[in-house]
Structure 1
Amino acid sequence: MSFEGINSVHLLGIGGIGMSALARWFRHEGYAVSGYDRTPSPLTEELIAEGMQISFEDKLESIPAQIKDHSEKALIIWTPAMPKDSAQLNFFRDNGYQLKKRSEVLGILTSTYYTIAVAGTHGKTTTSSMIAHMLKSAGKPIVAFLGGITQNYQSNLILGGKKSKEPTLVVVEADEFDRSFLRLHPNEVVLTSADPDHLDVYGDEQHILDGFLEFVHLADKKGRLYIQQHAAQRLGEGKLPKIATREYGLRSSGISAENIQARPGSFVFDYLDGKNEIKGLELFIPGFHNVENALAAIAIALDHNISEEQIRLGLSSFKGVKRRFEIHVNEGNHVYIDDYAHHPEEIRACLSSVRAMFPTKKLTVIFQPHLFSRTRDFAEGFSESLSLADSVILLDIYPARELPIEGVTSAMLLDGINTDHKELVSKEDLMSHLDKASPEVLVTLGAGDIDRLVPVIATWMKEGLNRYAL
């Protein structure tokens, strides 16, 4: 299947971070783009401003005329998050429309272009964004489909680079949820991590490891595999594909970082890979985990003939991704950082880096667990990683796609958190609670609707700093 003969695209769940990137690409390519989503959001507002027709009612009357009247020229893209009783989804199914999942469409695109696919339980959004920025800033022609909004481009779709005879490079974030990454056709593969997650889909740890192993074997036989050292160990190095493979990690024997310095707003390090050494690189998105992500991006840049000078510039100008170790306030004795972390290992990486940056300051964490099943499956790990903080505030579990599970609540994490200050607080009472606490270093964590509190908290802290200045 190709997109020949298609002139309009309708996306069900268009406001999702992955779906909206596809919507933007089709719009850029000249297609009429429309869609449905359950609720408005800042992202859907941006898509409407970019010329897309979006409805928020799952009714047949909301389907644009060009989709209804010319079904043979329409492509319908849907996400598995759509409910089975969706009026629009069932209409398209019953009337013979060309209906494709997001992963299938990405599969078609990646079979057409030279593709770098980035997967992993953690780090894939930042790593894929960093790779895309490094390639674009060096003038390479690229298209990047990302799982987050980049600060450099304020988008989850990156386009451009100099016009040249070089083939377009596609950088795509490869999502393991629902095994959708197995539909891709990558030339090069990056695997940032292989920790258990999405056990509601995979069942157990071994099955998700099998999924990652199947994914890395999708790499083209003439391509390359960049794999984080612990991920390689977890998959079994003897099971990896017989292609050019480069292992990386902070202490890897392959690609590594040395002389790492944690500063209040950046990390400085040296890159080594046995052949190349680049000293004094500065990364302005802090975190040991982000230094590790940068190792993969630098290795790919070198393999695509990007110079040391271009790498320095690309790395130092990378502003990160929204909600990935995003520093909102860093003034005097008050710091506020927000992160998407929703897995024990992600929380551990985030808080360890914050500790290194601000070793003498009291660390307060607000965490909103994401999914009942994930909270149940990793309760011990969540408690252990949250114990890195001095004070922990737990919000109620964000259910996302799930119904409640009996006995599974945020409270089940409390006993295992090894700190003297830990409590449950409702979202409604959070700001009054913070007023009394007056935290020095505050970190919000979670993948649910905690993001809606971020601007409120940032404004509150900045206003407090103004009061202190007076």
Structure 2
Amino acid sequence: MPDVLLPADQLGRVHFVGIGGAGLSAIARIMAARGMPVTGSDDHDTPFLPGLRELGVPCHLEYAADHLGAADSVVVTTAAREDNPEVVEARRRGLRLLPRSAGLWSVMAGSRVVAVAGTHGKTTTTSLLTSALVAAGADPTYAVGGMLTATGRNADAGAGDLFVAEADESDGAFLVYRPYAAVVTNVAADHLDVWGTEAAYRAAFDDFAASVDPDGFLVCCIDDPGARALAESSRAAGRRVVTVGEAGDADVRATDISFVGSTSTFTVRRDGADGTTVRLRIPGRHYVVDALAALVMGLELGHDVEGLVSGLESFSGSGRRMEAKGEAGGVRVYDSYAHHPREIEADLEAARAVAGSGRLLVVFQPHLVSRTRVFGPDMGRALGAADEVVVLDVYVAREEGDPAVTRALVVDAVPLPGTHVHLPGSLDEAAEVVAGLAGPGDLVLTLGAGDVTTVGPAVLAVLGGARG
């Protein structure tokens, strides 16, 4: 992190190393939309790049020193290695090097920032809040860690004073934003490769809460013990906190929750009185609480309930968050980014409701060696809610492999009998296995933060070819 953070209009020409990622592509999109000169590189194409190219942003599909061109500042993904040729060249030339957090701060500067933090649910809650605010007449700038289905984009440069941002804790980025207001969905140990201990991870959320503007406020989802503890300590420190959830002592409660197919309905109860009923187009109890948090944030910001609810009810999802990929041969296929045990549990509960009388078939790819080392057995236990489980090899990503950390840590913990486990050798084989197991009425759910997302379309292709 540089000693001095500069607003975007003082960064000159900006080059992005890893521009295809969800975080950097959002920052690049906002800069480009504001007329800044932006370029970028990545080692593979991603769904975020076509939209950037439409804005005129050159996006190279390899890393090379000459891609920096006349850049003054370079924003670097956390996944970049020190020997990345563009990073090496930027250092050699003495260019301004910025981590993702500094890049996002630069485009936030001068805005009233609303940050959405938490171990899980950040992307969905940020997306729901953005949709609600737009419907209520606001024109926020937003940066989300996934595509909004309604817009096909993960960021936009609005004309209003609000900036809605997904605040990622994985590398400590959320500690520099200093928002006016914030949502905390939950606080459960994760990213221990960075934070080291659960205590340090939780302390980071304490620091985040303390960074909120003294004139602002927190919205905390107190069904989660970690977020409840944060709400209590924040109130004790004199900060304004609004609590939400199903809990009987929440300031604003979700009651009369019901699920029908892929919809979720709940009633908002505040100050002991029932209020608006909200009908979401996304399934799952955890999404109900996310939507409640978004609604309360919008209300606390001064927007009318009718507009906010309209935005929530029109929300059709965000990429890789229980995203419907299609149907073939009577088999429905969904995809989710879930990679932590609690996320897996929540999405399997939602998938069960959608599957109805059909079976639930899950393809799971453990993500990161460090996470699998700590949470592998818990992942396996959570997968026991499925009828058939296909477990892929660990997606290594930014770490070095460890022969002691394999999918066996997950597989050995899957409850048996009851759940059948399959171990394909490749993504293509996984698709073939699932297509062979699935029948009309069944639901296939692919889970993980790696390239498991390619399995769903492959399953649909096999089923479509086999059954027309």
TM-score by length of 1: 0.91
Give matches, 1:207-226, under 5 Å. Answer: 207-226=200-219
Partner of 1:457: 459
The share of aligned pairs that are identical, in percent, is: 32
Q: Which moved more, 1:107-116 or 1:204-213?
A: 107-116
Partner of 2:132: 134
Task: Tell me the CA shift for residue 78 of structure 1.
Answer: 1.3
Q: Distance in 1 between matches of 2:102 and 2:435?
A: 48
Give matches, 1:60-459, under 5 Å. Answer: 60-64=65-69, 66-67=70-71, 74-160=72-158, 168-229=161-222, 230=224, 231-235=226-230, 237-238=232-233, 240=235, 241-253=237-249, 254-274=251-271, 277-329=274-326, 334-420=331-417, 421-426=420-425, 427-439=427-439, 440-459=442-461
State the AA in 2 paired with 1:443: L
Q: 1:107 to 1:63 in 2, by over 3 A?
A: closer
Contact 1:107–1:185 (CA under 8 A) maintained in structure 2: no
Structure 1 unaligned segments of length 5 or more: list them. Answer: 68-73
Task: Tell me the CA shift for residue 80 of structure 1.
Answer: 2.4
- Kindly report the root-mean-square deviation, in angstroms, between the aligned alpha carbons of the 2 structures: 2.0
Q: Distance in 2 between matches of 1:190 and 1:443?
A: 28
1:16 to 21, 25, 44: 21
Q: Which moved more, 1:332-341 or 1:444-453?
A: 332-341
Contact 1:110–1:186 (CA under 8 A) maintained in structure 2: no
Q: 1:239 to 1:47 in 2, by over 3 A?
A: closer
Contact 2:378–2:410 (CA under 8 A) maintained in structure 1: no
Q: Distance in 2 between matches of 1:411 and 1:221?
A: 48
Contact 1:132–1:158 (CA under 8 A) maintained in structure 2: no
Task: Tell me the CA shift for residue 127 of structure 1.
Answer: 0.3
1:49 aligns with 2:47: no
Structure 2 unaligned segments of length 5 or more: list them. Answer: 1-5
Partner of 1:71: none
State the AA in 1 paired with 2:243: E
Q: 1:259 to 1:332 in 2, by over 3 A?
A: farther
Q: Distance in 1 between matches of 2:186 and 2:350?
A: 18
Q: Distance in 1 between matches of 2:25 and 2:164?
A: 16
Q: Which moved more, 1:284-293 or 1:96-105?
A: 96-105
Q: Distance in 2 between matches of 1:87 and 1:32?
A: 21
Q: Secondary structure at the match of 1:392?
A: strand
State the AA in 2 paired with 1:112: G
Task: Tell me the CA shift for residue 58 of structure 1.
Answer: 2.5
Q: 1:188 to 1:239 in 2, by over 3 A?
A: closer
Q: 1:357 to 1:190 in 2, by over 3 A?
A: same
Q: Distance in 2 between matches of 1:261 and 1:93?
A: 56
Contact 2:15–2:39 (CA under 8 A) maintained in structure 1: yes
Contact 1:329–1:461 (CA under 8 A) maintained in structure 2: no
Q: Distance in 2 between matches of 1:396 and 1:276?
A: 50
Q: Secondary structure at the match of 2:102?
A: helix
Q: Distance in 2 between matches of 1:339 and 1:270?
A: 26
Partner of 1:70: none
Task: Tell me the CA shift for residue 366 of structure 1.
Answer: 0.8
TM-score by length of 2: 0.92
Q: Distance in 1 between matches of 2:289 and 2:464?
A: 31
Q: Distance in 1 between matches of 2:50 and 2:247?
A: 44
Contact 2:123–2:145 (CA under 8 A) maintained in structure 1: yes
Q: Distance in 1 between matches of 2:435 and 2:43?
A: 34
Contact 1:194–1:234 (CA under 8 A) maintained in structure 2: no
Task: Tell me the CA shift for residue 331 of structure 1.
Answer: 8.3
Contact 1:110–1:185 (CA under 8 A) maintained in structure 2: no
Q: Which moved more, 1:254-263 or 1:331-340?
A: 331-340
Q: Distance in 2 between matches of 1:377 and 1:355?
A: 27
Say how many residue pairs are matched.
454
Q: Distance in 2 between matches of 1:158 and 1:122?
A: 23
Contact 2:361–2:438 (CA under 8 A) maintained in structure 1: no
